[in-house]
Structure 1
Amino acid sequence: MTKNKKLLIWGVPTVLILATALFLILEGGVVAGGRSYVVKRGKLDASIESVGEVKGEKATEINIPLIIRDRELRIWQIKIVDMVEEGKIVKKGDYVAQLDQTEISNHLRDRMQEKEKRDADLKNARIDSTVRLTQLRQEIANSVLDLEYNKIDLEQSQYESEAYQRKAQMAYQKAEIQVEKRRRDYLLEQNRWKMRVQRHVNQLDWLDGLIARYEEAMEATRIMTPEDGIVMFGTNWNGSKYSKDDEISIWRPLIATLPDMSSVISETYVKEIDISKISKGDSVNITIDALPNKSYAGEVAYIAAIGEDHPGFEMKVFKVIVRFQDRDDDLKPGMTCTNSIVFEHYLDQPLIPLEAVHSDSLQSIVYLKSGGNVTKQPVRLGAENKGMTVVLDGLKEGDRILMNPPEDML
């Protein structure tokens, strides 16, 4: 009797365990981590993640000085020979960077040598004009004397023959014409030399102004801050931050910025295949790599209309600006952040794990278990997020699906 009781005591739990195991085997389990999953309704936010950089929405720009960008100076790019550390807090008038003076100095030396030559040319032109015009005035004086001689001869010819009178008249007219010609030649030569001298004067004036601008550019190579702020350096053509010995082009003159962190943004780039999904005003969840215990709410404030090539991407990307809705003193310019841009909200929709979705003849299917039968069930899916996806058509709440296809249906 005692033996039978022991068998009964140990046998009942064993039977219950075996029955439960058999039920689970037949039904396939009820948790997502097992062999099956029961479809539930829930909420899912469809989002796109992109890495961005924290910036002030407004910033004071520190550019290559305008005098250095003067086209006549022919300084197309200039090297940074020294700079402060990025992130340094500065006051108005503080030192930021030193630009290389070598090319400016070389141009200045060349222009000064050219000015010496032009000075010599001007002096020679003035001397030559003086000599030449003096010579012409002497020729005019001689022509006037010749005219006077011919006039006297003409007056005396009245006592001579008619032929001689005619000859004297012609000689006088010829001398008169010669005087007028000499005077015209003098005026033409005077104007010619005047223009030649003026060209030298104009060239010297231009060189004087150019030399003064080169000297001003030399002084402008020491870059100072126009306002108080935190120094954030600009980026090169390849997207890297400027550093010592980098070249800055006058076509891309931004050296650094002093961001105003009273209004904070995240500047990010979204791939062209995803850009059509998002819209201005979409909500964004922002996390900061340097502040792992914090998250911030934001919204899409700007979407670029034209795609561009950007380092780190194999396709065109579009610039997107996300504006933080909250202000936090812990936010610093240049921090790396992750933007989760929510482009669609699904409420009370059937949700299933992505792991349970398979493909068959270019359509998505799941393996639907009903009693002891398993069938391929086509499904139309919506957005996905964090390993789950929305089922728009093909399943309802309470349906049981297998996480993996049965061996006999592979």
Structure 2
Amino acid sequence: MQKKNIYIGLGIFVGLIALYWLFFSSGKKEGFEILSEVKKGQFKVEITSSGELQALNSIEILGPIEARRYRIGNFTIETMVDEGTVVKKGDFIASLDKTELFGRLEDRRLDLEQTRAAFEQTQLDTSLVLRLERDNLINLDYEVGAKKLVLDQSQYEPPAIIKQNEYNYQKAIRDLQQAKERYRIKTLQEKARMVEVSARLREAELEVSQMQEALEKFTVLAPQNGMVIYRQGRGGKVKEGSQISSWDPVVATLPDLSTMQSITYINEVDIRKVKVGQTVQIGLDAFPDKKLSGQVIQVANVGQQRPNSDAKVFEVLVRVNESDVLLRPAMTTSNSILIEEKGDVVYVPLEAINVESDSINYVYLKNGKKQEVKLGLANSNDVIIEMGLEEGQGIFLSTPEWSQDTSISLLAELDGKRNLNREEITSEADSTMRPGYQIRPVRN
């Protein structure tokens, strides 16, 4: 038992010595400092952001646009295929509630039957009226012949009787002419009546036919091959049970998956660097090993505020160059937009850069010096050194103990050029400002 306590005590003592050596003694040694070296090679300035895949082109699957002609404001989706279903042209997409239009169709069918009955009645009336007129013409024609015969046979009668027979004959001729004119006018009147009732009948038949065609469109079919994507409405995605307006009867969309784009949002600090035509490397969260290339095709001119965020961002559209069967709408992407690329330049990690008096940038060299440097382009990790360092030099990423007792070795080439003119800064900012930028006061 006594030996066991001795061993425990020795163990604690050794542990304390080890802790002291790690946290106190080694901190005074150069090997404990974080060191790096100046590198030379290709340098890329990139802006990285997450995005979401979307088809560059898509076709909207529409319900019956004609429904608004029949004063139907909204209709309900009764059944609908699942989102992501791959369909062929003519396949079933959705079924809409037909109740309201079906009731109106039945009313129009009843009106059509009444109009057809009125048409047939008018036909019968017209036939009867014109037949009576034709019979009257035949009788009057016989009357003219009879009066002519009486006149011819009265040539040996007294003049008064002859004169009376002439009057009767002339009257019969006038009655026949008047009957013919009346028949002509009556024919025109009956034709006009038939044209009117025929037009009403055709209108009623056409309306019933159009309503039947509209009713068929309440069964929505795929206009082409593709994948069904639910439409995002005000109350969420349009799906079974949702109502859609006859003025905007989009049931779903069929994206063209052969050409995709990534929609991403860039913060207001970096948006001035993004230009149309810049190349983009695209990664897929769902397939980490797959890398795609793309190109910036559109940069928004007006900023917007995303939900649950105070920062202003600008929408950027990136077209995906490759076509892949694995690509699906709404997949999350990582987008690295190449802003600028330089070859054969000297660069160091950003952690190595220190600033004094807001104008002197310097690094801690491994040889114990503080060296001023002139900075160039920077990315999220490194910065180009235009002047002051050479490839292979050792530099500190942390602050060494001797930093307080060492003065900075200044570059003679930067004398008088360390403070950038404020007017130049303002001019550069004005040239890249877009609506939506947040302006904050500068404190001196």
Q: TM-score, normalised by structure 1?
A: 0.61
| 1:85 alignment partner, SS class | coil
Match among 311, 314, 331 for residue 335 of structure 1 = 331
The amino acid of 1:386's aligned partner reads S
Q: In the TM superposition, what is the alpha-carbon distance from 1:47 to its structure 2 partner? A: 3.7
Identity %: 19
After superposition, give the CA deviation of every residue in 1:128-161 in whole Å (9 maximum; x if it has no partner): 2234223423443453354345434543564567
Q: Indicate whether 1:299 and 2:294 are aligned.
A: yes
Q: CA deviation at 1:97?
A: 1.8
1:20-59 to structure 2, matched below 5 A, reads: 43-47=43-47, 49=49, 51-55=51-55
1:121 corresponding residue in structure 2: 118
Q: Distance in 2 between matches of 1:139 and 1:311?
A: 89
CA contact under 8 A between 1:89 and 1:231: conserved in structure 2? yes
Q: Confirm or deny: 8 A CA contact 2:229 2:254 kept in the other structure.
A: yes
Q: Which residue among 50, 61, 64 is the counterpart of 2:62?
A: 64
1:56-95 alignment runs, 5 A limit: 61=59, 63-64=61-62, 68-70=64-66, 74=70, 78-89=75-86, 95=92
User: Counterparts of 1:106-255 in structure 2 under 5 Å?
Assistant: 106-152=103-149, 154-155=151-152, 158-159=155-156, 169=166, 172-224=169-221, 230-236=227-233, 241-244=237-240, 245-247=242-244, 249=246, 253=250, 255=252
CA distances 1:198-224 after superposition (whole Å, capped 9, x unpaired): 443454345345434433443443345
CA 368–58 in structure 1, closer or farther in 2 if over 3 Å, else same: closer
On the 8 A contact 2:83/2:229 being kept in 1, the answer is yes
| Contact 1:232 1:334 (8 Å CA) reproduced | no
Match of 2:340 among 336, 340, 344: 344
Give TM-score scaled by structure 2 length.
0.57
Q: In 1, distance between residues paired with 2:39 and 2:296?
A: 37
Q: Name the SS for the 2:330 alignment partner.
A: coil
Residue identity matched to 1:100: D
User: Could you say if the C-alpha distance between residues 307 and 85 of structure 1 is closer, same or farther in structure 2, counting changes exceeding 3 Å?
Assistant: farther
Q: Which amino acid in structure 1 is aligned with residue 340 of structure 2?
A: E
Q: C-alpha offsets along residues 380-410 of structure 1, whole Å, 9 cap, x if unaligned?
A: 987x65387779xxx74457999xxxxxx95
User: Helix, strand or coil for the counterpart of 1:279?
Assistant: coil
Q: Distance in 1 between matches of 2:275 and 2:246?
A: 35
Equivalent position to 1:100, from 74, 97, 100: 97
User: Secondary structure of 1:119's partner?
Assistant: helix
Q: 1:50 to 1:196 in 2, by over 3 A?
A: farther
Q: Does 1:368 align with 2:356?
A: no
Letter aligned with residue 61 of structure 2: N
- 1:229 Cα deviation from its structure 2 partner: 5.6
Contact 2:86 2:226 in 1 (8 A): yes
Please state whether the residue corresponding to 2:83 is helix, strand or coil: coil
SS at match of 1:194: helix
Deviation, 1:277, is 4.2
Partner of 1:86, secondary structure, is coil
Output the CA distance in 1 between the equivalents of 2:358 and 2:283. 35
Distance in 1 (CA, whole Å) between partners of 2:104 and 2:304 is 36
**Map of 1:386 onto structure 2:** 380
Structure 1 stretches of 5 or more lacking a match? 1-12, 21-28, 33-37, 359-364, 372-376, 403-408
CA RMSD of aligned residues (A): 5.5
**After superposition, what is the alpha-carbon deviation per residue over 1:257-288, rounded to whole angstroms, capped at 9, x for unaligned?**
2654xx452242778x95994234x3212244
Whether the aligned pair in 2 keeps the contact of 1:266 and 1:337 (CA below 8 Å) is no
Q: Does the 8 A contact of 2:42 with 2:341 survive in 1?
A: no
Paired residue secondary structure (2:359): strand
Corresponding residue number in structure 1 for 2:260: 265
- How many pairs align? 349
Q: Counterparts of 2:200 and 2:221 in 1: how far apart (Å)?
A: 34
C-alpha distance after superposition, 1:299-334 (max 9, x if no partner) = 227549x989999699998783511437373x4333
8 A Cα contact 1:279 1:343, kept in partner: no
What code does the residue aligned with 1:367 have?
A: S
Unaligned runs of 5+ in 2: 1-23, 364-371, 390-409, 419-442
Aligned partners of 2:312 and 2:159: how far apart in 1? 106
Q: Distance in 1 between matches of 2:301 and 2:151?
A: 94
Shift in alpha-carbon separation, 1:195–1:303, aligned structure 2, 3 A:
farther
Contact persistence 1:73–1:210 (CA under 8 A): no
> Which residue type is aligned with residue 64 of structure 1?
L
